[in-house]
Amino acid sequence: MEYSCDLKQNEENILNCFDKAIHGSLPIKMRITFSQRKVEFLEDFGSDVNKLLNAYDEHQTLLKEQDTLKRKAENGSEEPEEKKAHTEDMSSAQIIDGDLQANQAAYNYSAWYQYNYQNPWNYGQYYPPPPT
């Protein structure tokens, strides 16, 4: 989220945006991310320390909520649906993706200086000695 203007005047509007995201129906990981960004925003640009302390307490509450959800998944027989889909998809994707990224990186690196590329740094060019 990016918001550019005078932060002192619009602090309440920005905090309302954070609150909508934190108290919305997003997954717990996203809500924790927004909560962390809210704390960071208040640390950097906040005008009231009490708002920062409240945001920090709210962030700690979300972290505890996430821990209890993890414990339920560990103790129970079922894992959350997010975790099931995530582990199944990533196992095959990592094997394929690693080779492609290495080949793509090598391809791009070898071609950056070709095809009428202007060499602005003048590396490897001969400079004649200055006239005497």
- Domain borders along the chain are 9-78
Structure tokens belonging to residue 82: 């997010």
Q: Above pLDDT 90, what percent of the chain? A: 35
Q: According to the per-residue pLDDT averaged within each range, which of 51-55, 68-72, 114-118 is highest?
A: 51-55
CA distances from 14 to 37, 39, 62 (A): 11, 12, 20
The answer, yes or no, to whether residue 116 has pLDDT greater than 80, is no
pTM, rounded to two decimals: 0.52
- Distance in Å from the first CA to the final CA of the chain: 61
Q: According to the per-residue pLDDT averaged within each range, which of 11-15, 58-62, 98-102, 106-110 is highest?
A: 58-62
Structure tokens belonging to residue 93: 């994707």
Q: What is the mean pLDDT of residues 95-123?
A: 54
